[in-house]
Amino acid sequence: MIDLRSDTVTKPTAAMRRAMAEAEVGDDVLDGDPTVLALQERVAALLGKERALFVPTGTMGNACGLWVHGRHGTEAYAHHDSHIVNWEIAGLSGLRGLQPRMVQGAPVMTLDTLKAAVRAPSKHAPTASVVCVENTHNGAGGMVTPLAELRAITEFARGTLQLPVHLDGARLWNAHVATGTPLADFAACADTVMVSFSKGLGAPLGGCVAGSTAHIAEAFMARKRLGGGMRQSGIVAAAALHGLEHHLGRLHEDHANAKRLATIIADGVSDAQVVPPDTNIVMIDLPARLDADTVTARAKALGVLISAWNARRIRVVTHLDASPEQVEQAARMMVKALA
């Protein structure tokens, strides 16, 4: 089976497992785990932030960011197709009492679509406490929001709206590699940034939330409250450090594989709409004669695992554990599945 359901399906490499086995550890809740501290410093430096905090999941990283900025009974601006809105069990409202103010329109948030979502001031209307952006954007097929657009959003948020920005950067690594934009330039557009190690970097789990010293002190308490204080977590932080060291620089291979797969399918199936990938996620809108469950079942029978994104759309993701040859083979099988 070639598993292209997600870039989360990767297993730790032998070298990553060695790094984990050899990690120096301590009690991170008591007085700090040396490997966790090293990871947090590395991530803070990469993102140009004062501090970073290791979290077990990207979802908890987003929850910490929302905890820091959110005020109970206010709104959070978020794209209607964002991870925070669709895939985190309504944590923003369930945990922080925030109502999502959905930004509609383009496949990712833009300055214009954010502006269009702003309510006219009224003593009867909710106020907002945070703007959430996502880069790359999962639901839009790993789409990159270029630095200029992100800066325009942030200037409007901080200036006109007087609001902080939280960046869901689970795949910010991919945006960086695809564009050459320094990670710190993207991160400067946000007050808190979540990054994930368990996607393209190939670690078994984990992420960081980064920001100012004051924001991360608050995030630390939020993490504890959410049950995310971890003891000898250097075992996992070592995997993240290994991923940063050895797998960040190879993400362009995933992007090239995704482009190749998209081309083979677009050439081979005339009536499927393949969204040209910016990074490692290929979305395919199906012709009316097919539904997603049929296509995923056919692909599985041909040895390829893919996701049904919705009834009319399938998602294919390239990653560390799928070689160029396997991705080509998968693309050829998918042409058959879509025939």
Ligand X SMILES: *Cc1c(COP(=O)(O)O)cnc(C)c1O
Q: How far is the CB of 168 from ligand X (least distance, A)?
A: 5
The set of residues, in sequence order, having a beta carbon less than 8 Å from that of 266 and lying 6+ positions away, is 272, 274
SS3 call for 3: strand
> Looking at 134, 149, 191, 278, which residue binds ligand X (CB under 6 A)?
134
* Residue 277 is a binding residue for ligand X (CB under 6 A): no
Give, in order, the Cα–Cα distances in Å from 70 to each of 4, 127, 168, 260, 293: 35, 11, 15, 42, 38
Q: How far is the CB of 81 from ligand X (least distance, A)?
A: 11
Q: How far is the CB of 185 from ligand X (least distance, A)?
A: 19
The set of residues, in sequence order, having a beta carbon less than 8 Å from that of 78 and lying 6+ positions away, is 84, 85, 92, 100, 101, 102, 103, 131, 132
* Residue 282 is a binding residue for ligand X (CB under 6 A): no
Taking the C-alpha atoms of residue 62 and residue 14, their distance in angstroms, rounded to an integer, is 30
* Residue 7 is a binding residue for ligand X (CB under 6 A): no
Structure tokens at 89: 């069990």
Tokens 């809105």 correspond to what residue?
Answer: 85
Nearer to ligand X, 58 or 202 (CB): 58
> Looking at 39, 92, 144, 170, which residue binds ligand X (CB under 6 A)?
170
Nearer to ligand X, 110 or 198 (CB): 198
Taking the C-alpha atoms of residue 152 and residue 130, their distance in angstroms, rounded to an integer, is 16
> Looking at 10, 35, 40, 59, which residue binds ligand X (CB under 6 A)?
59
Which parts of 188-207 interact with ligand X (CB under 6 A)? 196, 198, 207
Sign for the CA dihedral angle at 212, 240, 60, 135 comes to positive
Taking the C-alpha atoms of residue 267 and residue 211, their distance in angstroms, rounded to an integer, is 44
Region from 55-63, 175-183, 235-243, 254-262 binding ligand X, contact rule CB under 6 A: 55-63
Instruction: Give the count of residues interacting with ligand X (CB under 6 A).
Output: 12
| Cβ density class 98-128: b for 16+ within 10 Å, e for less | bebbbbeeeebbbbebbeebeeeeeeeeeeb
CA 52 to chain centre: 17
Q: Which residue is nearest to ligand X (CB)?
A: 58
Nearer to ligand X, 211 or 290 (CB): 211
* Residue 12 is a binding residue for ligand X (CB under 6 A): no
Tokens 């790359």 correspond to what residue?
Answer: 136
Q: How far is the CB of 313 from ligand X (least distance, A)?
A: 16
* Residue 242 is a binding residue for ligand X (CB under 6 A): no
Q: How far is the CB of 138 from ligand X (least distance, A)?
A: 4
Nearer to ligand X, 187 or 337 (CB): 187
Binding residues for ligand X (CB under 6 A): 57-59, 62, 83, 134, 138, 168, 170, 196, 198, 207
